[in-house]
Amino acid sequence: MRRLLIATTNRAKLAEYRLILRNVGIELELVSIADVGILESPEETGATFLENALIKARFYFEHARIATLADDGGLEIDALGGEPGVRSHRWLGTGGDDSDEALVAEVMRRMKGVEAARRTARIRATLALIHEERGVIREQTAEGAIEGVIGARASAEIRAGFPYRAVLVIPARNCYLGELGDEEEAQIGQRRIAILKLRDELERIAAGRAAG
């Protein structure tokens, strides 16, 4: 089975990708940064999710020389002009408390008193896939987003590494994104939407036409 490096140290994210690819019928052995022994990491200096996803994908592909998938994404709140956006994981600035709980609390603080009609938001993911095929480096990107609204209060459960799932309510499911089970989330989530757009390229890798 061909390997695909998922450019993350987050085991929960790796597990999510495994579930998504299994559900869409793509057979690849997914490995993490730790699995291939890469200790360095790039500086994410991009002004957009796309730029950061490409920075990570290119960096880890150069180090591992196997097919690599990286993503960047976060929460966009319309009433806050799209914040936290590309700064979703460093919204509170250097030296501050950037824990999951602190990020959730900041959303609630900034959205206090905002009327229901203006609480629209989404969690967006941009994926960058890089692999080598017959000596040619191929790059492809895709984006997915799951739409919702910021709840009047945060969910009681904050899943480690995924703070914003505790504030985004999915109206069609009448619950917070973080309250969905793993299987259901893998069926409707932003990463699945993006993965489906990369399906042809991922199947090329799985078929063995890519190096690694």
C-alpha to C-alpha distance for 65 and 75, rounded to whole angstroms: 31
Task: Indicate the angle between helix axes 190-197 and 11-24, nearest 10 degrees.
Answer: 50
Phi then psi for 95, rounded to 5 degrees? 85, -5
Of the candidates 72, 78, 98, 200, the residue annotated as catalytic is 72
The yes-or-no answer on residue 72 being catalytic is: yes
CA angle 95, 98, 99 (to 5 degrees): 140
CB 34 within 8 A of CB 60: no
Residue 171 carries which side chain, given as an amino acid letter? P
Q: Would you please indicate which residues are annotated as catalytic (active-site) residues?
A: 72
